Amino acid sequence: MSESALQIFISALLANNFVLAMFLGLCPFLGVSGKLETAFPMGVATTFVMLVASLCAFGLNLLLTALHLEFLRLIAYIVIIASAVQLVEMVLKKYSPALFRALGIYLPLITTNCAVLGVALFQTAREYDFVQSVAFSLGGGAGFTLALVLMAGVRERLRLSDVPGLAQGTAMTLMLAGILSLAFMGFAGIGS
Amino acid sequence: MKQPVLISNMEEFMEGVWKQNPVFVMVLGMCPTLAVTVSTLNALSMGLATAFVLIASCGLVSLLRKVIPKEVRIATYILIIATFVTAVDYAIQAISLALYDALGAFIQLIVVNCIILGRAEAHASKNPPLAAMINAAGMSAGFTIGLLALGTVREILGAGTLLGFSLFGPQFQPWVIMLLPPGGFFVLGGWLLLFAWYEKRKQGRLGGEVQHV
């Protein structure tokens, strides 16, 4: 593995965008992307959880490998992530109750966000070192936020336009995601 | 009103297959749905792996439903699910390494499939083991059908094959975009449109009464 941290960051942000190219974290992507003012904080919260999860997963992986307990990896990761989410939830509840209510059920659901577990699993599978892992989680989080914000922007505009009755709701959102994903394919090759 | 056991079980099962289909109606578990459905075979294996985890963990959650304290129930469910996923992960690795490589991290990501946690919380924690497992089996069947619907369309259009057999002969120009990420979004969007159209037509027949479920 000789990729530089910057390459990994750019690749996770654009060419291999978590949501639009790797299909990770679609539930919040479809659920919270209705309004810009919730989409951005959600992205930041997820990025933070990703960073914490990635750091913990890195340390845990060293420990588990040293003890020859690799089969516990998945279980250990998910417990770490759940604790990190709990932490974010408590901090948000204390410092920004309005935001806490706006994010609602999607906040605890970060635990079951594939993107967060995905970061931990992919960095293990690709044998990233410490700096690479941090770059990967930050890039992934930034990419997730970018996709969420772009989608929210499009959907806010769409509310004023005349969508055919049949296509309203999820079908429309999926088609939009497809078009966004098509646009992101233009970045293929960057960072690799 | 007491129904005969067989009929009520069948209804419970069909609930997940049709009325509450996890892919098309509830739009849950999207990540594996879109990521692994580049071919019919991948879709089928993913469906079966998820089915095993779903049925086994719902059964266990249901057995333990009176033991698990309320405060830590979600964490307990996740641990139970993660255990079964680890088992499936190792089993697939042992059965077929090619398949394991094709599905990649998405086998382990079954843990965070919302369908499983949703079923454990909404159904298995309140019902006896048999009912919970039948419900889970219905959901798994619905999920597998959803995956197959996507996988088949994407494989036929994107590669011109079905289960690896060529359908249209060598002259066919594959529609590669269907195998790439945008294709996944478009095909699922298309299926949802089709179901919306079917629903609307059915309501039109019932006398134009608009009902939102």
DSSP per residue over B171-202, as a string? Answer: T----GGGTSHHHHHHHHHHHHHHHHHHHHHH
**Cα–Cα distance measured from residue B205 to residue B20, given in angstroms and rounded to the nearest whole number:** 22
**B28 to chain A: nearest residue by CA?**
A27
Inter-chain touch A178–B185, beta carbons under 8 Å: yes
Q: How close is the nearest chain B Cα to the Cα of A177, in Å?
A: 6
The SS3 call for residue B165 is strand
- B204 contacts chain A (CB < 8 A): no
Inter-chain touch B108–A117, beta carbons under 8 Å: yes
Report pLDDT for B52.
92
Number of inter-chain CB pairs under 8 A, A vs B: 109
The SS3 call for residue A71 is helix
Report pLDDT for A191.
59
**Cα–Cα distance measured from residue B76 to residue B86, given in angstroms and rounded to the nearest whole number:** 15
Q: Do B175 and B24 form a contact (C-beta atoms < 8 A)?
A: no
Residue of A133, A119, A109 lying closest to A59 (CA atoms): A133
Inside any domain, residue B210:
no
Domain that holds residue B74: 5-167+174-205
Inter-chain touch B188–A174, beta carbons under 8 Å: yes
Inside any domain, residue B212:
no
Residue of A112, A118, A103 lying closest to A43 (CA atoms): A103
Report pLDDT for B4.
60
Report pLDDT for B207.
57
Q: How close is the nearest chain B Cα to the Cα of A99, in Å?
A: 23
Residues on chain A touching B197 (C-beta within 8 angstroms) = 166
Inside any domain, residue B92:
yes
**A112 to chain B: nearest residue by CA?**
B112
- Least confident range from A96-100, A176-180, B83-87, B147-151: namely A96-100
**Cα–Cα distance measured from residue A159 to residue B169, given in angstroms and rounded to the nearest whole number:** 45
Q: How close is the nearest chain B Cα to the Cα of A160, in Å?
A: 21
**Cα–Cα distance measured from residue B112 to residue A44, given in angstroms and rounded to the nearest whole number:** 20
A165/B67: higher pLDDT: B67
User: How sure is the predictor about A164, in pLDDT bands with cuts at 50, 70 and 90?
Assistant: confident
Residues on chain A touching B86 (C-beta within 8 angstroms) = 71, 74-75
Q: Do B66 and A47 form a contact (C-beta atoms < 8 A)?
A: no
Inside any domain, residue B161:
yes
A2/A10: higher pLDDT: A10
Report pLDDT for A85.
83
Residues on chain A touching B113 (C-beta within 8 angstroms) = 112
**B74 to chain A: nearest residue by CA?**
A82
The residues of chain B scoring below 50 in pLDDT are 1-2, 210-213
Q: How far is CA B60 from CA A165, B66, B80, B81, B83, in A?
A: 43, 11, 8, 9, 11
Inter-chain touch B185–A174, beta carbons under 8 Å: yes
Helical segments of B64-172, H only = 73-95, 97-103, 114-119, 129-159
Q: Which of B104, B117, B196 sits opposite A112 (nearest CB)?
A: B117
Average the pLDDT over A181-192 and give the result: 78
Report pLDDT for A92.
82
Inter-chain touch A23–B181, beta carbons under 8 Å: yes
User: How sure is the predictor about A138, in pLDDT bands with cuts at 50, 70 and 90?
Assistant: very high
Q: pTM of the prediction?
A: 0.83
Percent of chain A with pLDDT over 90: 5
Output the average pLDDT for chain A.
83
Q: Which of B35, B86, B90 sits opposite A75 (nearest CB)?
A: B86
Tally of domains within chain B: 1
